[in-house]
Amino acid sequence: WRRIATRYDKTKESYLGFVNLVSALQWIPFVHET
């Protein structure tokens, strides 16, 4: 995961978009459980 973070860190906008994507992917299964 650090390789990806380092790659996207060069452009903060892309990095934030990537973080939001990961957060969403982790959040969706949690919503389906409840």
For the stretch 1-34, pLDDT in tens is: 566 656 655 677 777 888 888 998 888 888 777 6
**C-alpha closest to that of 8 among 16, 25, 23:** 16
Q: What is the pLDDT of residue 12?
A: 73
| CB-CB contact of 15 with 5 (8 Å) | yes
**The tokens of 9 are what?**
């860190």
Cα–Cα distance, 13 to 31 (Å, whole number): 26
| CB-CB contact of 1 with 9 (8 Å) | no
Q: What is the pLDDT of residue 30?
A: 81
| CB-CB contact of 18 with 8 (8 Å) | yes
